[in-house]
Amino acid sequence: METTVKKDIDDNASAVDLILVYAQNQFLATYEYQVLFPTSCLANFTICQYKTLQLGLWNNANIQLVIITKPTDIFMPNTQWLALRPLMLQLDLATFKMLGYASQMANWVNDFQFCSRCSQPIQQNQKLFRMECAHCGYHAYPVVNPCMIVLVTREDEILLARSPHFTTNMYSTLAGFVEVGESIEQCVHREVFEEVGLSINNLRYIASQNWPYPHSLMLGFHASYEKGDIVLQAGEIEDAKWFNIKQLPQLPPKQAISRYLIDLYIAEKLSLAKPTFVS
């Protein structure tokens, strides 16, 4: 059975079996990258303030998210604090998706402590996954920001670019957030032109991926080069080049949708087996 997080908590699923510990965009993990702990570990949190959120079912266990203010607030032997990116390289995709969900929920709980309308303290409704203001009746739900990610292709070449914050020598596909009032297709055309000065056509939707940095939904596309010369957007793009599909630079990890877009195009171009991707 596929491992999932059950977001609607049943009344019969209220008992906590395991806990997941979060602080400042990091998760507590053992040195073997185990991130779920028995409930007996809650004794370690009596020395600090913490919030809890019932996440749902994971491998038939009820998971509770424990949110503390700072990693230094507790100490547990043989553990370390790790951000999502290094964990993504060590964990299977299903577990990474669960952590991504937990991270977004933790950010939501931390960011929505007061009503944005009347500034009164706001309360969690864990059954409906929303914040509710008892003073004015306002409801706040977890935030999801749509964004596009696109692989631009030209026969046996693909366009890859570097952001200044990428790891050394890594190149990836172009990406950007949807602006108010535009469609996702308009966003793809605009972002490609803004970031590298190129016009594209033959836009084809491929897949989507939840991307918890901190709360994005990546909508992935393939597009064909139409016209233009590469002109880098200052401050956003450090470098962009056309790469032959048989001579590629360092690429994003396999778990990322950007890598799937690249691998899928190469497989189609070379008549290879299509890569698998769990969105």
Convert the pLDDT of each residue in 155-195 to its tens digit: 999 999 999 988 889 999 999 999 999 999 999 999 999 99
Scanning the structure block, which residue is given the tokens 């999932």? Answer: 4
- Residue 213 Rama label (left phi>0; alpha psi -120 to 50; beta): beta
**Cα 121 to Cα 140: distance, rounded to the nearest angstrom:** 12
Question: Would you place residue 69 in the very low, low, confident or very high pLDDT band (cuts 50, 70, 90)?
Answer: confident
**Which segments within 194-261 are labelled E, that is strand?**
199-211, 216-227, 239-244
Q: Percent of the chain having pLDDT more than 70?
A: 94
**Cα 240 to Cα 226: distance, rounded to the nearest angstrom:** 16
The arithmetic mean of pLDDT across residues 106-132, rounded, is 91
Scanning the structure block, which residue is given the tokens 């040195």? Answer: 31
**Cα 73 to Cα 53: distance, rounded to the nearest angstrom:** 19
CA dihedral 180→171→248→256, nearest 10 degrees, is -60
- 100, containing H or E segment: helix 93-111
- Residue 53 DSSP label: E
Question: Would you place residue 279 in the very low, low, confident or very high pLDDT band (cuts 50, 70, 90)?
Answer: low
Question: Would you place residue 15 in the very low, low, confident or very high pLDDT band (cuts 50, 70, 90)?
Answer: low
Cβ–Cβ under 8 Å, residues 63 and 17: yes
Query: Which stretch of 10-19, 21-30, 253-262 has the lowest confidence by average pLDDT?
Result: 10-19
Residue 268 confidence (pLDDT) above 70: yes
Cβ–Cβ under 8 Å, residues 121 and 134: no
The mean predicted confidence, pLDDT, of the chain is 90
- 263, containing H or E segment: helix 257-269
Structure token pair of residue 168: 């050394």
The arithmetic mean of pLDDT across residues 67-96, rounded, is 88
- Residue 268 Rama label (left phi>0; alpha psi -120 to 50; beta): alpha
Question: Would you place residue 220 in the very low, low, confident or very high pLDDT band (cuts 50, 70, 90)?
Answer: very high
Q: Which of 233, 164, 226 is nearest to 196 (CA)?
A: 233
This prediction has a pTM of: 0.85
208 φ/ψ angles, rounded to the nearest 5 degrees: -130, 160
